[in-house]
Structure 1
Amino acid sequence: MNRHTTAHVISHTHWDREWYLPYEKHHMRLVSLMDTLLDTLERDQDYRSFYLDGQTIILEDYLQVRPDQQKRLEQYIREGRIIIGPWYILQDAFLTSGEANIRNMQIGHRDAARYGIPAKIGYFPDTFGLVGQIPQLMVQSGINNVFFGRGVKPTGFNNTVADGGYESSFSEMIWRGPDGSEVLGILFANWYSNGNEVPVEEQEARSFWDRKLSDAEKYAATNELLYMNGCDHQPIQRDLAEALRTAGKLHPEVQFIHSNFPDYLEALAQQLQGKELSSVQGELRSQRTDGWGTLVNTASARVYLKQMNQRGQALLEKVAEPLAAAAHLLGQRYPHHLFTYAWKTLMQNHPHDSICGCSVDEVHREMVTRFDKSRHVAETLVEESSRAIADAVDTSVFAGYGEEALPVIVFNTTGWVRSGTVSIDIDVERHYFRDGRPLDEIAGLVEAVDVSGRILVDSDGRRLACGVEDLGTQFGYDLPDDRFRQPYMCRRVRLTFEVEQIPALGMALYAWVREKHGKPQALPAAAAGSLLKNQRTLENEWLQIEVADDGSFTLLDKKTGQLYRDLGIYEDTGDIGNEYMYRQPDGEQALTTRGLAAEIQVLEATPYRAALQIKHRWEVPCSADEVLEREQRELVWYPHRKAQRSNELVTLDITTVISLSRSSAGVELDITMNNTAKDHRLRVLFPTDLEADVHQADSMFEIVDRDQTPAPEWENPSNTQHQQAFVDVSGANAGLTVANRGLQEYEILRDGRNTVAVTLLRSVGELGDWGWFPTPEAQCLGRQTANLKLIPHSGDGIASGSYADAYQYQVPWTVRQTDVHSGSVQPNYIPLQWEAPGLAFSSLKVNEKTGDLMIRWFNMTREQTLLKLVSERPVEQVYRSTILEERGQETERQSRDNGSTEVRQPVGPCEIVTLGLKLEN
């Protein structure tokens, strides 16, 4: 033992807000813990500091119950004895979007700043693997370190640590992101509880420290040893000061200090000078392990949560924020406080035990409510912003069609030009209760409204093909800002039509009108036919889809000539694992729908879209056999279980709608399942038959390359992995992108065909981990849905636009009815235009402090590119920013003759770039 060894003992508690207990039961324990902490800090000056788990939401949760303790709390935070931040919550890295992670850092910093300076600690103690862009996110947050517990060294049952397969020489390493950003990575090699419950009594303390000192020295690169005095929901050790005095007495060669992360990092930096550390690159997903403890299958536990999260994230970051920013440019107040509330409510579902679906049932019931609440706020913001924009748009181009003209505005809030099929319910005629007519008379007037003889036209007067569904008499109401609610009855119809080439962050104007001057207007020749070629074939300019008797289909990419066969076959296997990990029963052969006769019928056949409906009635085992429950109760680790599937069968109904739009280079699949079986996994298979050793998947701010074949250490027969928007397999001249909405688990099968298998449903009955916690609702019985899009391309998903299409697939259209009026904004108004090879648009919002526009992209490629940005409005300043929206170096700009401003900005490989625009008044 070196006589200069220092043992840094850092007190903390890792606070899962909800997990094996519902939120409020953990909440009550948190209140008790915080009360004890404040009392301990007041009583014992030798109890130097406590790290509040890196998440400021703990302050909110505590003060919600104990507002009377705010002054004491503020005192100890300002004194540096309670260290807070940098996050709002400790989120899962793979199952939350890049923008959600940025909002998390922004809100955490802002909330912590109310008390003092946020801790610049990259804290990921129990995150289930780490995405490759975390070093860049940390550097842009002013953080030069990352503390983490998973991703490099394996952890097993009950968080035991295994030797071997260690990718770094030490627990300290250099972690480099794909853009070249570097941080000091510090692995909790002996977990974040290696200094927990330090003994006071000498004999017990001697045994404790003999073991703990040896364990830490095994991995440490220096004599600065880190001990984490705490664990999950760990109560405060009130006699720690005495315990450290005992340790110092037993080991006088070691300096034992009640430390904190800043002091530890400072001491470590001095010791690391001139010392070479191992480097790790990119994602940390425990790929150099046996594969049994990666927790990757949390990506498919309770899939419905991931789907709700994807919808909520997309609605906030890709719809509500851009629309609010556009409305702000027209004079509307940007509702920062409402966005913060919506984001906080959504992010309360982002801790790993929450979004990963690996908690008790009560937790996930409450999550559904939070998702709904956040969505309701976002929908309100979309409604208000789109109304403000619609009121400013000049729709008088339709005045010539008379008073019955019904204009509609379609907004494209994505970062690329967009085409597609949209639907909107419009009110043809309203009769308000305030007019004083009896309700039966109002109903009669509405029923008598004539909805025939109308056509859809664009702002240039061209007629479009349009589907019309009469929804009949409907009740509605207005909620004016200055009057009491205004109920009405109306005649409502649903319009479905195709929109083409709507500019990025732009809009297009249409109207449902009477035939002008009574003269019938012919449809364009391109819109007169049908995309349905026969009862089994869909075809447009780019694709041909043919459905077989068993419901599988072939997809011909007419641009490349590549034919994809046997697509859309379903696979079902048993699952005797838990919410964390999938485990197929030994020796079981997967069931598939290959050869199973399907009921196939035409669902839609129009000039702009055609769809086929495929129904399977499939007999599958009802559950696992009775052995599984016994093994669960006995805490048999899931890789060692011997349970099999039951011989009893139930019917699994699957309805698949395959649709093709005229303007689309991809085919969509909308799947509905009535799940009647337990203890199983359902996937859909897409063989690519492309030769490739690697594939690409969408991750946080990165298109990541992953090997088809796992590392030699990998033993788990399953090699499932995480995705966000898509996964792609590409060969020399062809590729297939499989896009999704909230289906975050996939596997590239080693079947000789490079088949993409996407998990639609995983049914399990227990939480797993350190005890037996039954979770019957994790069986996900009843109606389940899934949405996918297959986008073939020429072999380059970026250059072909396939990846942009996949990102757009996750973003809902915004369509709004308005009336005929004059306005200050022309229908072709585009506030911002940009172009740059390889860049993906990520965010458009307004800075709360400055009012500047903040626009973010990320480079999908590993090559430098040039961003060209044009603002319709004159710009006073343009500057580089960080993810914290801090003002950086000013960027050159050029004013154009028409009053617009052009900016050119180089963007490095895999760089996340944020520009701030200060507009002229």
Structure 2
Amino acid sequence: NKFPHHTFQWEGIDGTRIFTHFPPVDTYNCSMKGSEIAHAASNFKDKGVARHSLAPTGWGDGGGGTTREMVAKAARLRNLEGSATVVWETPEEFFEKAQAEYPNAPVWVGELYLELHRATLTSQAKTKQGNRRSEHLLREAELWAATAAVRTGFAYPYEDLDRIWKTVLLHQFHDILPGSSIAWVHREARRTYERVAEELNAIIDAAQRALAGEGSAPLVFNSAPHTRDGVPAGGARTPAVLGETALEPRPDGGYVLDNGMLRVEIDARGLVVSAYDLAADRETVAPGQAANLLQLHPDFPNMWDAWDVDEFYRNTVTDLVDADEVAPGDDGVSVRVVRSFGASRVTQVLSLAPGEQRLGIDTEVDWHETEKFLKLAFPLDVHAERYASETQFGHFHRPTHTNTSWEAAKFEACNHRFVHVEEPGWGVAVVNDSTYGHDVTRTVRDGDSGTTTTVRVSLLRAPRFPDPETDQGVHRFRHALVPGAAIGDAVREGWRINLPERRVSGSQEVAPLVTVEQDAVVVTAVKLADDGSGDVVVRFHESRGGRSRVTLTAGFPFEDVTVTDLLERPLADAVGPERDGGRLRMPLRPFELVTLRLKRG
């Protein structure tokens, strides 16, 4: 353990601190042997100021828990000369004592990076996708069911949503979401995610039809927390027409996509050799490089096939540059690229939507490799010493360099919806709908001494253990390259790609149940309170890491507003928002997360 403390305060991105303890016994399967307890005592890095540590006891990983022998060993260590004293107590009792004796524990700010098990960010792609899509479907179901309940008397599905949330959270347990379970587990998980999607889509469809009414007018429902094509966040209306995209052949082969905001050149190999930001007069792709580059590595970790990827995998790489087909897509304004390698096949569709500064990349992989690692690379002409990676309710930064062993160890890292790199005044985002693992590296070019920052997203692996058929078959991924993106654009595009629009025929537009005026403030939940009271719960946060003052407007009458915790319990010391009729105003600190409960009138 390189970390300098076993007991400390961990500070999150919003400044919140949590009293934290890493058990110095260095195992979660302590059997109460004398040697283990002696190691815990000698290894405890804070023993000069703290006297208590935890020893998680029992056979872990489904092995049966604590045994009689372990209980008996602990009993002999209650008062044994020369040994640390062992007592049974609950975690709550331990933390009360530990915090009381060490109230000013040192503070660690930011990421607690585990230098192990990096492959769990990628193994079992369909399990990862099932989790991500279930999370967003649940958000949609809550939003539209709550809106329909307030507006039309729609029966809010309290019990169904509670059950589905618990099912999705259960599947985040190891080794399910990490992709390191046996094959049966992932087959079962895929079936469960399919049932969850079917149920949630049915709830969403019923709520949206109740809101839209009978009619034939084309309506677009926008579940994302930002206005999209003229459709407000949390509302529905006919979308605006935003222009056109032109597709032209390139003289040297390939095609050019141009929508007046971006001009994207795709060469005869199906690679993006230019993504030009027309407004900024700025090239995105590094000189002499190509983006949308699929790269294949051999993948033979030293231990734990599904769990680990080791740094030496980078020593050998095959660039997949040979294309079977590069041709216009079925819609006439996109480019279709087909590649074959090994026993596998990749089909990509590159598209540039009218009025959008975003190159969409839809990738279908029919994967039949073993012990291989597939990456998608974007070498960017950006000088960045750090990059932003999305996490829950915000983002944090990692260095692009490897000055120290701790930085070098982060050769594979986790993001949620986006990765963002930036020079002052201009940046680039890579957003995704279902991948988590990635790497970011930097090099200095020989020709112009410029810096190339390369973002690579991890698509697929093929370990043999514990599931020898890991990820064999067809997979579909959606990514987008967003040139000229500030951090707010990365946030918006990350939500957008995960919450695609839904089209419903109806007779009336749908106004949002709640509206937030500030783009920096993201509403992550609109729902009815779990207690069945009919109160509306709204959760939002500051998303850019700066100060903001939020103005929230409720589209329904309410009597009172209460600040609550994440479990919808009132926070006694919280300062509530100022009220002006149906408007609520309050300041927000960087990344501050707020939950409001509005009692309907």
Residues 4 and 45 in structure 2, CA contact (< 8 A), matched pair in contact too: no
Residue of structure 1 aligned with 2:309, choices 582, 586, 590: 582
Distance in 2 (CA, whole Å) between partners of 1:600 and 1:884 is 52
The residue that corresponds to 1:320 in the other structure is: 141
| Residues in 2 aligned to 1:715 and 1:869: alpha-carbon distance in whole angstroms | 40
Aligned with residue 20 of structure 2, among 151, 172, 185: 185
Q: Rate the CA distance shift 1:603–1:230 in 2: closer, same or farther, 3 A.
A: same
Letter in 2 for 1:333: A
Aligned equivalents of 1:718 and 1:874: distance in 2?
Answer: 50
1:355 alignment partner, SS class = coil
SS at match of 1:807: helix
**CA drift at 1:764:** 1.2
Contact 2:297 2:314 in 1 (8 A): no
Tell me if 1:891 matches 2:580: no
Contact 2:420 2:428 in 1 (8 A): yes
Deviations 1:396-440, CA, capped at 9 Å, x for gaps:
xxxxxxxxxx33322112211012xxxxxxxxxxxxxxxxxxxxx
* Cα distance in 2 between the residues matched to 1:307 and 1:724: 12
Q: Which residue is equivalent to 2:77?
A: 247
Distance 1:266 1:297 in 2: 36
2-side partners of 1:797 and 1:215: how far apart? 42
Secondary structure of the equivalent of 2:469? helix
For the pair 1:720 / 2:412, whether they are aligned, the reply is yes
Distance 1:218 1:718 in 2: 26
2:478 — aligned with what?
A: 787
The Cα of 1:258 is off from its aligned counterpart by 2.2
- The aligned amino acid for 2:108 is V
**What amino acid does structure 2 have at the position aligned with 1:708?**
T
| Match for residue 318 of structure 2 among 591, 609, 613 | 591
In the alignment, is the contact (CA less than 8 A) between 2:158 and 2:530 conserved in 1?
A: yes
What's the counterpart of residue 538 of structure 1?
257
- What residue identity is the alignment partner of 1:505? G
Match of 2:164 in 1: 342
Residue matched to 2:561: 878
CA-CA distance at 1:244 after TM superposition: 4.0
Displacement after TM superposition at 1:504 (Å): 1.2
Which residue, 560, 563, 581 being the options, matches 2:280?
A: 560
Pair 1:851 & 2:577 matched: no
**1:801-880 correspondence runs (5 A):** 801-818=489-506, 826-827=508-509, 829-849=511-531, 850-880=533-563
Code of the residue aligned with 1:853 in structure 2: it is V
Match of 2:447 in 1: none
Is the helix fraction higher in 1 or 2?
Answer: 1
| Pairs within 5 Å for 1:672-687 | 672-687=364-379
Q: Give the secondary-structure state (helix, strand or coil) at the position aligned to 1:224.
A: coil
CA deviation vs aligned residue, 1:155-175 (integer Å, no higher than 9, x gap): xxxxxxxxxx2232xx11111
Residue pairs, 1:626-705, within 5 angstroms: 650-705=342-397
Residues 373 and 717 of structure 1, relative CA distance in 2, 3 Å threshold:
same
Structure 1 residues 781, 226: closer, same or farther in 2, change over 3 A? closer
Whether contact under 8 Å (2:420, 2:490) holds in the other structure is no
User: How far apart are residue 349 of structure 1 and its match?
Assistant: 1.3
Query: Could you tell me how far 1:540 is from its partner in structure 2?
Result: 0.6
Offset, 1:894: 1.4
Q: 1: distance between equivalents of 2:386 and 2:312?
A: 29
Aligned equivalents of 2:134, 2:587: Cα separation in 1: 32
Looking at structure 2, the residues matched to 698 and 846 of structure 1 have their Cα atoms a distance apart, in angstroms, of 27
In structure 1, how many angstroms separate the alpha carbons of the residues matched to 2:314 and 2:336?
A: 34
* Structure 1 residue 719: Cα displacement: 0.3
Letter in 1 for 2:231: I
Is residue 8–residue 19 contact of structure 2 (8 Å, CA) maintained in 1? yes
| Alignment partner of 1:745 is 2:437 | yes
Q: d(CA) in 2 for partners of 1:727 and 1:272? A: 37
Tell me the residue number matched to 1:282.
Answer: 110
CA distance in 2, matches of 1:681, 1:349: 24
- Aligned twin of 1:41: none
The runs of 5 or more residues in structure 1 that have no matched partner are 1-152, 154-164, 199-204, 396-405, 420-500, 511-522, 619-649, 768-774, 821-825, 896-900
| Structure 2 residue identity aligned to 1:885 | E
CA RMSD of aligned residues (A): 2.6
- Cα distance in 2 between the residues matched to 1:283 and 1:249: 39
Query: Secondary structure at the residue paired with 2:54?
Result: strand
Against the structure 1 CA distance between its residues 545 and 245, is the aligned structure 2 distance closer, same or farther, given a 3 Å change threshold? closer
User: For the residues of structure 2 that align with 1:701 and 1:222, how far apart are their CA atoms?
Assistant: 33
1:792 counterpart letter in structure 2:
P
Query: How far did 1:365 drift?
Result: 0.8
- Could you say what secondary structure the match of 2:209 adopts? helix
Output the CA distance in 2 between the equivalents of 1:191 and 1:356: 21
Q: 1:757 aligns with which of 434, 441, 456?
A: 456
Q: Which runs of 5+ in 2 are unaligned?
A: 445-451
Alignment of 1:384-463 (within 5 A): 384-391=206-213, 406-419=216-229
Alpha-carbon separation, structure 2, partners of 1:587 and 1:797 = 29
Q: Distance in 1 between matches of 2:548 and 2:407?
A: 41
Q: Distance in 1 between matches of 2:359 and 2:187?
A: 34
Which range is displaced more, 186-195 or 758-767?
186-195
Aligned to 2:449: none
Deviation string, structure 1 residues 316-375 (Cα, Å, up to 9, x no partner): 11x111100110112122111010111122222111311010111111111111111211
Distance 1:181 1:530, change over 3 A: closer
Q: 1:217 to 1:304 in 2, by over 3 A?
A: closer
Task: Write the letter of the residue equivalent to 1:894.
Answer: D
Could you say what secondary structure the match of 1:374 adopts? Answer: helix
Q: Which amino acid aligns with 1:258?
A: W
User: What CA distance in whole angstroms lies between the structure 1 residues aligned with 2:36 and 2:295?
Assistant: 51
Kindly provide the amino acid, as one letter, of the partner of residue 291 in structure 2: L
SS in 1 for 2:545: coil
SS in 1 for 2:487: coil
Cα distance in 1 for residues equivalent to 2:149 and 2:388:
38
Based on CA coordinates, which of the two structures has the bigger radius of gyration?
1
Q: Deviations over 1:854-874 (max 9, x none)?
A: 111121233221011112222
Q: Which structure 2 residues correspond to residues 61-210 of structure 1 after superposition, within 5 A?
A: 153=1, 165-168=2-5, 171-193=6-28, 195-198=30-33, 210=38
CA distance in 1, matches of 2:597, 2:58: 41
Q: Which one-letter code corresponds to 1:745 in the other structure? A: G
- Give the distance between the partners of 2:7 and 2:130, measured in 1 at CA: 38
TM-score w.r.t. length of structure 1: 0.59
Identity rate, percent: 20
8 Å contact from structure 1 (residues 308, 371) kept in 2: yes
The residue identity in structure 1 corresponding to 2:396 is: V
Distance 1:867 1:412 in 2: 21
Matched, 1:797 2:483: no
Q: Which amino acid aligns with 2:201?
A: E
1:686 positional shift: 0.6
Output the CA distance in 2 between the equivalents of 1:741 and 1:856.
Answer: 22
TM-score (ref. length: structure 2): 0.89
- Cα distance, 1:654 vs structure 2: 1.7
Q: Offset of 1:677 from its aligned partner? A: 2.0
* Alpha-carbon distance in structure 2 between the residues aligned to 1:241 and 1:672: 53
Judge conservation of contact 2:299–2:313 (CA < 8 Å) in 1.
Answer: no
Aligned counterparts of 2:587 and 2:562: Cα–Cα separation in 1: 13
Instruction: For residue 176 of structure 2, give the secondary structure of its aligned residue in structure 1.
Output: helix
